[in-house]
């Protein structure tokens, strides 16, 4: 080999080495083939059943869009972080999702208290948060009355849900007196109790007793005995299934056979396991949808979900699916994976067909939607009536 050729080959090798080093130090990288969406969910802890259902609904929506080619030629991937059903862990989870996993938006958490623990972190990192299920008004509007720019939801809010059950008690059940049993460790429960009481009184009713408990309590008989002494026509228990199941069981053991009323926190197969089917008879709760609804879209969703997970989807699964559709719709309209553009697209969500109805977000980032009242009978959920906003 001539000296000339050796020099030429040497120059080419040096050029290749420089190109490799440059690429490794911040040169052009191959375009990512996935869009990463965070899932800040209660996968373990007191309301793990809710977190798992919601995540399953999101995953089903993502699976469907991915099977059609994804968005912008990219596949959607849900990166799940377990918040263990605790606010402090929810804060840790969203921090990890944004700073380590580099997600462009975060879905969840489920519980209002857990979402509220994340809103400042989302704002500080300019990353949109979309909760499928948190119903407390403070989730999207702060104490200062200002709308939280980066927070959105797929469910109706507590004032509507509390009013629905107060109206149902007064008008459908003809109740004149009510007792309220509230979870003092839950913003969700306290907000609902406040709205129910105001609405029930407005309807001419009287609140004859208000008692409180804390999450993870096991013995509720002392407070129930106090309520029993006031002889209320109904008892309103706006709480999550874990404690509700024990409360209902113990109430019936004390001979308290009046209607027991609740909200979407009751909606879990675990409720029947904990309380027993017979104890739940004469129990009613508000919910976001009913799998018994004959709407073709709902029936298709129920069939697809059963095929995927071998179980009937609860309301949390339906709302998770709705949230999945909302983020898909926002990504399409934004035509971008930039969090700021996704945020703007979410704020402008209009007339979006989701499984629970047609969704348009109002100026406070809340959808106005219909509610269903569900009756528990022999362990089964029966559609009782529909309430429009």
On whether the CB atoms of residues 221 and 161 are closer than 8 A, the answer is no
At residue 16, the pLDDT reads 44
Task: Write down the CATH number for the domain with range 34-156+295-370.
Answer: 3.40.50.2300
At residue 130, the pLDDT reads 98
E-assigned strand segments in the chain: 34-41, 75-82, 106-107, 129-131, 151-153, 177-183, 206-213, 234-236, 260-262, 283-287, 352-354, 357-359, 371-377, 380-387
Domain boundaries, the chain: 34-156+295-370, 158-287
On whether the CB atoms of residues 92 and 121 are closer than 8 A, the answer is no
Strands 283-287 and 260-262: parallel
> Which tokens go with 77?
């991937």
Q: How far apart are CA 157 and CA 360, in angstroms?
A: 14
At residue 300, the pLDDT reads 96
Superfamily (CATH) of domain 158-287: Response regulator (3.40.50.2300)
Name the packing angle between helices 315-334 and 296-309 (round to 10°). Answer: 100
Query: Does residue 109 have a cis bond before it (omega within 30 degrees)?
Result: yes
At residue 8, the pLDDT reads 47
Strands 129-131 and 151-153: parallel
Q: How far apart are CA 176 and CA 200, in angstroms?
A: 9
At residue 387, the pLDDT reads 81
Topology agreement, domain 34-156+295-370 and domain 158-287 = yes
Give me the tens of pLDDT residue by residue for the chain, a chain 389 residues long: 555 444 544 544 444 444 444 444 443 333 479 999 999 999 999 999 999 999 999 999 999 999 999 998 999 999 999 999 999 999 999 999 999 999 999 999 999 999 999 999 999 999 999 999 999 999 999 999 999 999 999 999 988 899 999 999 999 999 999 999 999 999 899 999 999 999 999 999 999 999 999 999 999 999 999 999 999 999 999 999 999 999 999 999 999 999 999 999 999 889 999 999 999 999 999 998 899 888 899 999 999 999 999 999 999 999 999 999 999 999 999 999 999 999 999 999 999 999 998 899 999 999 977 788 999 999 999 999 888 76
Quick: pLDDT tens for 165-189. 999 999 999 999 999 999 999 989 9
Q: How far apart are CA 304 and CA 60, in angstroms?
A: 8
Could you give the 3-state DSSP secondary structure of residue 286? strand
**DSSP state, residue 193:** H
């Amino acid at each position: 080999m001539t000296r000339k050729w050796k020099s030429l080959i040497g120059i080419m090798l040096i050029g290749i080495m420089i190109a490799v080093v440059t690429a490794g130090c911040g040169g052009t990288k191959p375009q990512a083939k996935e869009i990463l969406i965070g899932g800040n969910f209660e996968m373990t802890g007191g309301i793990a059943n809710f977190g798992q259902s919601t995540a399953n609904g999101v995953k089903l929506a993502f699976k469907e869009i991915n099977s059609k080619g994804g968005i912008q030629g990219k596949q959607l991937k849900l990166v799940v972080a377990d918040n263990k059903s605790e606010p402090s862990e929810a804060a840790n989870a969203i921090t990890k999702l944004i700073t380590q996993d580099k997600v462009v938006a975060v879905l969840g958490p489920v519980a209002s208290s857990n979402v509220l623990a994340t809103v400042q972190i989302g704002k500080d990192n300019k990353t949109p948060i979309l909760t499928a299920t948190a119903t407390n008004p403070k989730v999207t509007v702060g104490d200062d009355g200002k709308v939280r720019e980066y927070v959105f939801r797929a469910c109706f809010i507590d004032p509507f849900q509390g009013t629905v059950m107060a109206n149902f008690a007064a008008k459908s059940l003809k109740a004149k007196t009510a007792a309220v049993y509230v979870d003092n460790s839950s913003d969700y429960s306290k907000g609902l109790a406040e709205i129910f009481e105001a609405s029930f009184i407005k309807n001419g009713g009287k609140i004859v007793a208000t008692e409180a408990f804390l999450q993870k309590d096991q013995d509720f008989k002392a407070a129930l005995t106090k309520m029993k002494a006031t002889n209320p026509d109904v008892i309103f228990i706006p709480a999550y299934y874990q404690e509700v199941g024990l409360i209902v069981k113990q109430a019936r053991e004390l001979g308290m056979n009046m209607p027991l009323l609740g909200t979407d926190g009751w909606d879990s197969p675990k409720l029947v396991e904990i309380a027993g089917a017979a104890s739940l008879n004469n129990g009613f709760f508000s919910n976001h949808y009913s799998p018994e609804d004959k709407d073709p879209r709902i029936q298709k969703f129920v069939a697809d979900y059963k095929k995927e997970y071998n179980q009937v989807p609860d309301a949390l699964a339906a709302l998770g699916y709705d949230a999945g559709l909302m983020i898909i719709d926002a990504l399409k309209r934004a035509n971008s994976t930039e969090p700021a553009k996704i945020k703007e697209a979410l704020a402008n969500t209009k007339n979006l067909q989701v499984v629970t109805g047609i969704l348009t977000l109002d100026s406070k980032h809340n959808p106005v939607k219909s509610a269903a009242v569900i009756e528990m009978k022999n362990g089964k959920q029966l559609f009782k009536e529909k309430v429009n906003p």
